[in-house]
Structure 1
Amino acid sequence: MAFDVNDEGRVLVLYDGTGVRQVNEITPDGDWRPLTELADTCRSARFVPDSRLVVIEHDTGGNERGQLSLLDLDEPGLPTLTPLVHDLDYLHHLVAAKPGRVLYTTNRRNRVDFDLVARDLATGADTVLYDGGGWVMGVSPSPDDQWVVLTVATVPANSFQLLLVETATQTVTELTPADAHNDQGQVSWLPDSSAFVVSTDADRDRKALRRYELSTAVWSDVLVDDARDLAAWVSPDGERLLVAVVDDGEVSLATHRLSDGSELNRLDLPAGGCAALSMTTPDPVWSPDGSFVTLTYNSPTTPPTVHRYDPATGEVVAVPAPGMPEVPKLTLPESLRVPSFDGEQVPVFVYRPTGPDLGSTVLHIHGGPEGAAMRVWQPMIAALAAEGHTVIVPNVRGSAAYGKRWYSLDDRALRLDSVKDLAAIHAWLPTIGADQSRAVLWGGSYGGYMVLAGLAFQPELWAAGVDIVGIASLVTFLENTSDYRRATREREYGYLATDREFLESASPLSRVDDIRAPLFVIHGANDPRVPLSEAEQITAALEQRGVPCELAVYSDEGHGLAKLKNKLDAYPRALSFLRQHLATVE
């Protein structure tokens, strides 16, 4: 993933070719230079302007407690890490690097709320720019450093408030209501800091591009598409927008005039894939002089690859990492809709077997719950298809990228409606020639909850399950998750103080005696989101009843598997587990 471009046209990217995600620099000629060689994952990186320094964020063992360090690019070979912001008890997230200072967020004040802090690189002094509370999910400083737009999680589930902070006085202005049900995406400033463009679904179902003028405090529409989500990045000259269009799991890119929104050029990228798109990462990135854009693109048939786009010529050139292995020729999925219990249509992607057809089906369920299954490179989906499984990737209700109405349909008391979507997909399987008796659930994080819920609430439907860092009990999950996450997750699932009875009723652990399908569980010992105790209690309960169950725990992992060595251990074991138990299905 691309994170930054400096004045010389050098690019910072994160790449896991060594088995652990590390920081690399790409020169203007396309040469790669490794900058880190850590035992653990690098999470972010930025050039420090007017210097040869790079600041990186990294954690330990997947614990997500980001620490900030500096690298000096003038050092030959692999630069030495110099600690910048280190306190292993707290999270520090890199926001931006400015001349002589670094912006970061941290929860060290009370473990729950995230403050925005500027660290002076010469003196080491910190200046707090915002300490108004909340989980600050996005930070967008203006080019002139006088303003910062914050995206802060608010009370309605999956909702975020925009705040404008004046850095000199720390004055905070609410740009959107705290109680509004709005999702906010990418924020991009105009070069003169007079306005910014944001991707938002305020007052509509889909994310549109809206502009906010600081001098008048007036909002206006830039681009609106009632059927698709939009995001945008303003060019350094303020004349153009790089616009992303999200359509049924695919993300395409085009340049538009900022003045009237008219399209200038569509980027010639491989069909059926996705540009990287996240509120918390900068990819795509304009070069400071606007001569090119660096972006990461991938698809179900193409691994993530850095590309350079030249807006003057329209040329898009891949910049593959050295030694990137050849991948087998794969096929794109079919996009279909499944009727559910209440007449809703569930979007699904269907990947046909690339190996000898076993007649079995694996439902591969994304995390979130407000996440989305996109048309991206998924090695495990490719591996499952190569095993001979038909792989169905659903965007059950509650998923993002299909509008506000759809991602709200599983909130709080509606939680089990998303599980009913799994039963609807099971009932639909014969229409694609699939054997209902050989259907398996596979998912991670919230997808792991869905696996366990499917096995517990629909025990007659599923032949086996693979749960990766999943939630067994919504009650114990909320009690034991990190403090800063509890406040936000209660808004989605329900509150321990008032909704405990419902939370218990919607928990797979409350129906564990009904589970009869074999279960394989993968978990990281350092998971700060879904504690290891969730895996331990579900497997202990199943072992006590004699249900076939295996638990694979990795001492150097957190919320999911980041290290190649652990993936090469866990996933073949899971595939073997499925082969073993599907062989007994009559």
Structure 2
Amino acid sequence: MTPEMYPSSHPVLDDVKKLLNLPVSLAVDVADDGTLLTNTNIGGTSQLWEVRPDGARVQLTDFSSTATGRYLPGSRKLLISSDTDGNERHQLYLLDPESAVLPVSSLPALIDDPEHIYQLMALDAESLVYSTNRRNEVDFDLIRRRHFDGEEEILWAGGGNFAQVSASPDGRYLVSNAMSLQPASNTLRLLDVVAKQWQVITAEDIPGQYGEVSWLADSSGFFSSQDADTDFRSVSFYRIADSRWHSFLAEPEVNVTIRLNEAGNRALIQRLKDGQSTLSLSDLHTGDNLPELGPEVPVSLPEAGYAVAEISANGQQLAVTFSSPTFPDEVFSAALAEHLGEGPISLTQRTFAEGREIAKKLPSTELVRIPTRDGEQIPAFVTRGDASAVLNIHGGPEAASLYQWSPRNAALMLSGHTVVVPNVRGSSGYGRRWMSMDDVELRLDSVEDLVDIHRWLVGSGINAGRVALYGGSYGGYMVLAGMTFHPEYWAAGVDIVGMSSLVTFMENTSPYRRAYREREYGSVEQHRQVLQDASPLPRIQKLAKPLMVIHGANDPRVPLSEAEQVAAAVRANGSECEMLVYSDEGHGLSRRKNQLDAYPRAVEFLRRTLDAVLS
């Protein structure tokens, strides 16, 4: 008998929908009085909520699309960012929750210009700094805008795109963090506000990523994490007096970052190893020489998992987002003493999703290292199930799968599959060397990693004919590449907002993103043949197994045309292709109603196609 898809009332599918319906909460800021600002998707899209010191939860926004924001330092006023239906043309809004009727469903934009992008870069009590591509739609300028009268000043109009701007406490300096033309790299520039002069303070011709900038209280210098000098991310200190970088904190095979509070006297230290986090706090001491950390006090997390944290401006409040493969994202907090004791610091859970008990039923996930044909090892998270397997490949590619909650992975686990979540070469989190091993001409080496994973799975008892690929964005490309370059290994694939041709992707992605992506993939002008040779579409006749394609109509990164052309080509070959397009989504599915439609259908599709091998 040919296996059928789950009926709509099947217990497994019912549990999958319960998992996908679980709300998650993320801490985005914390005020000096302990009020927490969170992103929570209880209503179907991620909106801003407050969790107040007495435990009351108050919804602040009810925009039509995802809203996020930050407090103005020393205030409960909010600077909010939101786009329209996933188009990523973010606009900025100011909200005073103490005078507004909550939740607000709309606000006047600070600048009424929905055709361009406005990204918050820096914020203080008097002004904000934003970047915008309104001048030519490609390059982003930096603009400082005063809150009280809206007066604007152009800080930078020299082109490029920005990740962050940070102002020194005395207002004398600004540091901008801009993308450079080296792969997975950026450039730090220092602006002397008085002299009106910019100075490049990192080597633009040497690959390196620089992270968030945190200034000392006396404005004598700042910290930034970086991997230009070390394979894994370490912390360096830039001292204004001698215009030099000084190594501050580095550990083997660990990514280390430091964030200071606004007062610049307390350090929040995060370490990331194999996708798992540890957090600690330390009081910072400054003197005539380099700053020094006091004794580190660990933060007690609920279990092994992934955590990110926010510290209040006065350093007295800590907010933590924590999750693990069986623990959906929740927000925790702690009030901190003026002087840290010996610790550890205990956290109090502040958000509680109804129905989260279902996540506890999931099987455990283990970290493994999978050997490759050339002597490397692929880090991967594996959850054991039956003799079928699904590989879920992350996007980026300069990103990573972490030891954290994923409702899509959980849904695949509930369906009974063995689930493999790999960090193939090109992934971040495992050193710059590993992240650079798929650049431009090396693209197909990462696709070969999928074959190595298949070989390992078969050696672990998985049926060789019952392995499927699943992935989003670059992971979607990997699905299509795996099924066209190595079609004999895969029984089915689910491509979510993936690229079917690297040539047409580079030609049609939004203009402001093109130069940024050329660093990783190569340019059409100089590397057309390389891009063509690594593209699934020219060899789509090889794709003969069932394919599901999911895409958002407003995707500014990977245009809908990438999905349309691959679906048309697969169907023209006479192969099965189910295509789902959502008119109110961009690069991925952010609305729960669409997730509840698409992802259970993907679960049904994979269960049917992988079970069909047995018939």
Identify the TM-score tier after normalising by the shorter chain: over 0.9
Q: How far has the Cα of 1:257 moved from its partner? A: 4.8
Counterpart in the other structure of 2:279? 253
1:515-537 superposed Cα distances (whole Å, 9 cap, x missing partner):
11110010000000000000000
Counterpart in the other structure of 1:91? 117
2:93 is the alignment partner of 1:69: yes
SS of structure 2 residue aligned to 1:393: strand
1:476-499 superposed Cα distances (whole Å, 9 cap, x missing partner):
000000111100111110111111
Instruction: Give the alignment's TM-score, normalised by structure 1.
Output: 0.95
Counterparts of 1:250 and 1:403, CA distance in 2: 15
The one-letter code matched in structure 1 to 2:43 is T
SS of structure 2 residue aligned to 1:478: helix
SS of structure 2 residue aligned to 1:158: coil
Match of 2:252 among 219, 223, 226: 226
- Give runs of aligned pairs for residues 278-357 of structure 1, distance below 5 A: 284-312=309-337, 314-321=345-352, 323=354, 325-329=356-360, 330-353=362-385, 357=386
2:300 is the alignment partner of 1:268: yes
SS of structure 2 residue aligned to 1:242: strand
Runs of at least 5 residues in structure 2 that lack an aligned partner in the other structure: 1-25, 285-290, 338-342
Change (3 A) 1:362 1:235: same
Q: How far has the Cα of 1:227 moved from its partner? A: 1.4
Counterparts of 1:263 and 1:303, CA distance in 2: 32
Q: How far has the Cα of 1:263 moved from its partner? A: 4.2
Change (3 A) 1:463 1:111: same
Deviates more, 1:364-373 or 1:80-89: 80-89
SS of structure 2 residue aligned to 1:373: coil
Change (3 A) 1:170 1:295: farther
Deviates more, 1:385-394 or 1:126-135: 126-135
Contact 2:73 2:313 in 1 (8 A): no
2:392 is the alignment partner of 1:368: no
SS of structure 2 residue aligned to 1:429: helix
- Give runs of aligned pairs for residues 503-518 of structure 1, distance below 5 A: 503-518=531-546
Contact 2:91 2:118 in 1 (8 A): yes
Counterparts of 1:198 and 1:327, CA distance in 2: 40
Counterparts of 2:454 and 2:53, CA distance in 1: 51
Runs of at least 5 residues in structure 1 that lack an aligned partner in the other structure: 277-283
Counterparts of 1:86 and 1:435, CA distance in 2: 57
Contact 2:469 2:490 in 1 (8 A): yes
1:192-232 superposed Cα distances (whole Å, 9 cap, x missing partner):
22211111012221111111111221221221112111011
Counterpart in the other structure of 2:580? 552
2:188 is the alignment partner of 1:188: no
Change (3 A) 1:168 1:331: farther
Counterpart in the other structure of 2:23? none
Counterpart in the other structure of 1:280? none
SS of structure 1 residue aligned to 2:211: strand
Change (3 A) 1:337 1:63: same
Change (3 A) 1:315 1:482: same
Q: How far has the Cα of 1:262 moved from its partner? A: 5.6
1:444-480 superposed Cα distances (whole Å, 9 cap, x missing partner):
0000000000000001000000000000000000000
1:334-378 superposed Cα distances (whole Å, 9 cap, x missing partner):
11111112111111110123xxx3x21000000000000101100
Counterparts of 2:295 and 2:273, CA distance in 1: 17
The one-letter code matched in structure 2 to 1:464 is A
1:398-432 superposed Cα distances (whole Å, 9 cap, x missing partner):
00000010000000100000000000101111232
Counterpart in the other structure of 1:148? 174
Q: How far has the Cα of 1:148 moved from its partner? A: 1.9
Change (3 A) 1:57 1:141: same
Change (3 A) 1:271 1:130: same
Counterparts of 1:26 and 1:324, CA distance in 2: 20
Match of 2:184 among 139, 155, 158: 158
Counterpart in the other structure of 1:397? 425
Deviates more, 1:504-513 or 1:425-434: 425-434
Change (3 A) 1:72 1:261: closer
Change (3 A) 1:167 1:10: farther
Q: How far has the Cα of 1:141 moved from its partner? A: 2.3
Counterparts of 2:234 and 2:425, CA distance in 1: 21
Q: How far has the Cα of 1:168 moved from its partner? A: 4.1
Counterparts of 1:424 and 1:554, CA distance in 2: 34
Contact 1:130 1:170 in 2 (8 A): no
The one-letter code matched in structure 2 to 1:429 is L
1:24-56 superposed Cα distances (whole Å, 9 cap, x missing partner):
1221223211111111111x3122346553220
Work out the percentage of aligned pairs sharing the same amino acid: 45
Match of 2:157 among 131, 138, 142: 131
Counterpart in the other structure of 1:279? none
Counterparts of 2:238 and 2:549, CA distance in 1: 47
Counterparts of 2:34 and 2:335, CA distance in 1: 12
Contact 2:32 2:312 in 1 (8 A): yes
Counterpart in the other structure of 1:31? 56
Deviates more, 1:253-262 or 1:213-222: 253-262
Contact 2:181 2:515 in 1 (8 A): no
Counterpart in the other structure of 2:21? none
Q: How far has the Cα of 1:250 moved from its partner? A: 0.6
Q: How far has the Cα of 1:140 moved from its partner? A: 2.0
Counterparts of 1:405 and 1:108, CA distance in 2: 37
Match of 2:129 among 66, 87, 103: 103
SS of structure 1 residue aligned to 2:398: coil
Match of 2:141 among 96, 109, 115: 115
Give aligned pairs, total: 574
1:265-322 superposed Cα distances (whole Å, 9 cap, x missing partner):
111102221113xxxxxxx221122112112111111111111134436221111157
Change (3 A) 1:413 1:41: same
Counterparts of 2:407 and 2:599, CA distance in 1: 10
Deviates more, 1:256-265 or 1:105-114: 256-265
Match of 1:472 among 467, 480, 500: 500
1:168-194 superposed Cα distances (whole Å, 9 cap, x missing partner):
444211110111110112221112222
Counterparts of 2:530 and 2:429, CA distance in 1: 28
What do you get for the CA RMSD once the two structures are aligned?
A: 1.7
Contact 1:17 1:324 in 2 (8 A): no
Counterparts of 2:230 and 2:261, CA distance in 1: 26
Q: How far has the Cα of 1:158 moved from its partner? A: 0.5
The one-letter code matched in structure 1 to 2:31 is N
Counterpart in the other structure of 1:14? 39
The one-letter code matched in structure 2 to 1:487 is A
Counterparts of 1:352 and 1:142, CA distance in 2: 50
